[in-house]
Amino acid sequence: SRQREMPVGLEAPGQEWLQCDSCSAKAWVHVYLPVGHLYFCHHHYNKHAEALYSKGAQAVRIYSEIGQD
């Protein structure tokens, strides 16, 4: 499968943030799947959470600030 680059936006000069894979909002949730990973804003994570788990989501990280490890 094709590895896609992580979408990155600029919040302010020098401050990068990851973009939701479903819209242009800031991503706060990182979902790990057997075939890759996705980033979601809270709205789209809540909308797709049930389907993600049924597709084998293994772990979810919810960030208070994106870019944290």
Spatial separation of the C-alpha atoms in residues 58 and 5, rounded to whole Å? 21
3-state secondary structure of 28: coil
Give the model's confidence band at 65: pLDDT under 50 very low, under 70 low, under 90 confident, else very high: low
The model's pLDDT over 12-25, given as tens digits with 9 standing for 90+, comes to 445 577 899 999 89
Q: 26: helix, coil or strand?
A: strand
Query: Using one digit for the tens of pLDDT, what is the confidence trace for 31-57?
Result: 998 889 999 999 999 999 999 999 898
Model's pTM, two decimal places? Answer: 0.67
Query: Coil, strand or helix: which one is 42?
Result: helix
